[in-house]
Structure formats: C-alpha cells, structure tokens
Amino acid sequence: MAKIGVIGAGSWGIALAVLLHNNGHEVTVWSALRDEIDMLIKEKEHKQKLPGVKLPEDMIFEYDLEKTIADKNILVMAVPSVFVRSTAKSMSAFVSKDQIIVNVAKGIEESTLMTLSQVIEEEVPQAIVTVLSGPSHAEEVGRGIPTTIVVGAEDKKVAEYIQNAFMSNVFRVYISPDVLGIELGAALKNVVALAAGAADGLGYGDNTKAALITRGIAEIARLGTAMGGKFETFCGLSGIGDLIVTCASMHSRNRRAGILIGQGKTMEEAMEEVQMVVEGVYSAKAAMALAKKYNVSMPIVEQVNEVLFNGKKASDAVMDLMLRDKKIENSDTLWS
C-alpha cells in the first residue's frame, strides 16, 4: 500500500483517487477551492463534475496543501493545465527530495512553450516528475470501465513503481521512457479535437471525422518527432489512442466546445457553455508557435487558431483545408 496525495479535485483527480483507493492505497485529495472540499466531505460525491461516482467513507479530503504532500509516496498532479505552474510553485516548499509527482494534466504552457512536466520540474526541481496519459475519460474510469494508459518516466524503476500503483483489472498500464512524446501527444490532440467537434457542429459526417483524425495525428507526429519525441509514441495510447477518443466522444470537453463553435458560437461562448476548462483552447496558440519554431507544417492547427482567435468561420476553415495544394500522403513512400 502506498500513501498518495491527489492535488486537484476535478473529474480526473476524483476518478483517479477512486481508482487508487480501490487498489488498496491510502488516498488524500486536496483542492484549492475550500467549498469543493466541504462538498466532497458532506456529499461523498462530486455531483457537478463526476455525478454518480460515490466516494469511499475512508477517503481523506484535505484543505491544507502541506498535509496533503507530507510523507506521501506519490503525488498525483490533477489540476487544469493553466494552474500547473502556480500550484507547483505552492507545492515546492513541502515536496521532499525524490518525491514522485505524476502529472496527469494535458497541455503546453503558452508563454514558455514548455510541456507541463518541464514546468513542474522547473518549479519543484527536487521531485521526480512522471506523466500518465492515454485514452481515459474520467467519467468512465470513475465507473470502473476498462481503460488502458501509459506512464512515462526517465527511470525505468520509477515507471514500474507507478505502473504497479495504478494497475488493476480495469486499468491497464504500460510504461515508456518517452516523456516528451507522451506529453506532446496528450496536449496536441485537444487542438485537433476542437476541429473534429467543429466538423460535427457543421453537420459533416464520418468521412470528415476520419480525415481530421488521420491527418491530425500526422501533424502531431511531425511536430513531436521534430522536437525529439519518438514516432512510435504517436502511434500508441497517448497519440492516436487519445486522439480517437477525444475526437469521437461526447465526454470530451474539447469536442463539445468544437461542436458549439461549428454551430456558430464564439470561443468564449463555447467555453462558458461547456463549464469546464477546454484545454485545446490554451494549447492551440502554443502548438502554432512550436510549429513555426520547428518549421513544421500543421494546417489543421493553423485553421483552429484562425477560428478561435481571428474570427474565421469554421466552414471557411474546412474549405481552406480541402483546397490546399495537392500533396503526397507520405513523403517516405515514393515512386522508384
């Protein structure tokens, strides 16, 4: 049994807290919102973000960040990407040397173009930072629906330790040393999911969705490998796997926001209606900046930025994608 602190009590934090508790660990959940902790203690359920998932009576809910961190074997970082740096900064004074942090948030910091594990490492340099990602909606993990994910860590023994802590008969865990590739796949798929949702909102069909998923992973892999990620990672759970589930499911807040944008709502209106953090909006500008920095073509990401921030109609963005210059599908496959 491990002692685990879950930093963040949103849907994903709560779902993982339930999973880890069911695996026999002692779990403490912290939130920056005092009212949220009050509600969890009283209701034993997050009725707004994860309704129907009952929380164990012996799960610990904590107002104090220091108490949540102290003496824990593992800290699960489950705050929205926009709050990762500020939360990590608050944690730093309490984290001991070589304490393990598992980042489960997905995104790229717009101001620095850093991945979230890089942000945490900068703010909490004494910690061992790992990542967990893959096709895993909180709504399903919380209900014990079979799910498969990947853990990334630079040290294999650390990866195996995290694997053992999270693994169960409904939660299969693979391990990988490609932390960068895992994080890039996790962040960039949210941008493509906005495009897929917009296509749904415009009334397009399965052909369009398949095209966006396929060409979307091509863009993600181009940028990811240019930055040093491994191509195989983008063919795996945190690449094509996470992209499929995020583009196809109504659990996906990015897809839901995209649908609203396709129906004519502004980015701000869509985010307000979804009432959850739409990570793809925050990652879109960073993805475009990285594409320019590494001289990588990302036409879908470019059009998403045009729609989100420059007032372009989603229908015009799709038409511009369709009418781009003729291309060969794979530059590695040429005629002799």
Evaluate if residue 250 carries a pLDDT over 90: no
Q: Please tell me the distance from the alpha carbon of residue 44 to that of residue 57, in angstroms, as a whole number.
A: 7
135 and 276 together in one domain = no
pLDDT, position 327: 82
pLDDT, position 230: 97
92 and 227 together in one domain = no
In a domain, 10, yes or no: yes
- How, if at all, do strands 147-152 and 128-133 pair? antiparallel
* pLDDT (average), residues 246-266: 91
**Contacts of 204 by beta carbon, 8 Å cutoff, 6+ apart:** 318
Evaluate if residue 275 carries a pLDDT over 80: no
pLDDT, position 164: 98
Residue finishing a domain among 162, 177, 192: 177
> Which positions are catalytic?
189
* pLDDT (average), residues 104-113: 94
Evaluate if residue 279 carries a pLDDT over 90: no
Domain of 30 in residue numbering reads as 3-177
Evaluate if residue 326 carries a pLDDT over 80: no
In a domain, 335, yes or no: no
pLDDT, position 135: 96
pLDDT, position 318: 87
The mean-pLDDT minimum among 176-185, 219-228, 288-297, 324-333 falls in 324-333
pLDDT, position 331: 75
41 and 157 together in one domain = yes
Domain count, the chain: 2
81 and 217 together in one domain = no
Left, alpha or beta for 131 (phi > 0: left; psi -120 to 50: alpha)? beta
| Burial (CB count <10 Å: 0-12, 13-18, 19+), residue 268 | exposed
In a domain, 328, yes or no: no
pLDDT, position 328: 81
pLDDT, position 158: 98
Evaluate if residue 272 carries a pLDDT over 90: no
pTM for this entry: 0.93
In a domain, 39, yes or no: yes
In a domain, 332, yes or no: no
154 and 36 together in one domain = yes
Evaluate if residue 269 carries a pLDDT over 80: yes
Residue finishing a domain among 156, 177, 198: 177
Q: Would you place residue 252 in the very low, low, confident or very high pLDDT band (cuts 50, 70, 90)?
A: confident
pLDDT, position 7: 98
CATH number of 25's domain: 3.40.50.720
24 and 128 together in one domain = yes
156 and 96 together in one domain = yes
pLDDT, position 59: 97
Residue finishing a domain among 139, 160, 177: 177
In a domain, 273, yes or no: yes
CATH number of 250's domain: 1.10.1040.10
H/E element holding 112? Answer: none
pLDDT, position 3: 98
* pLDDT (average), residues 150-156: 98
- Percent of the chain whose predicted confidence (pLDDT) is above 70: 100
pLDDT, position 325: 79
pLDDT, position 300: 95
22 and 136 together in one domain = yes
247 closest CA partner among 200, 185, 182, 298: 200
Tokens at 45, concatenated: 């359920």
Evaluate if residue 109 carries a pLDDT over 90: yes
In a domain, 24, yes or no: yes
| Burial (CB count <10 Å: 0-12, 13-18, 19+), residue 51 | exposed
Would you call 294 helix, strand, or coil by DSSP? Answer: coil
110 and 15 together in one domain = yes
Q: Would you place residue 40 in the very low, low, confident or very high pLDDT band (cuts 50, 70, 90)?
A: very high
161 and 242 together in one domain = no
Query: For the chain, what is the mean pLDDT?
Result: 94
In a domain, 336, yes or no: no
196 and 315 together in one domain = yes
Evaluate if residue 333 carries a pLDDT over 80: no
pLDDT, position 297: 95
65 and 162 together in one domain = yes
pLDDT, position 322: 84
pLDDT, position 268: 87
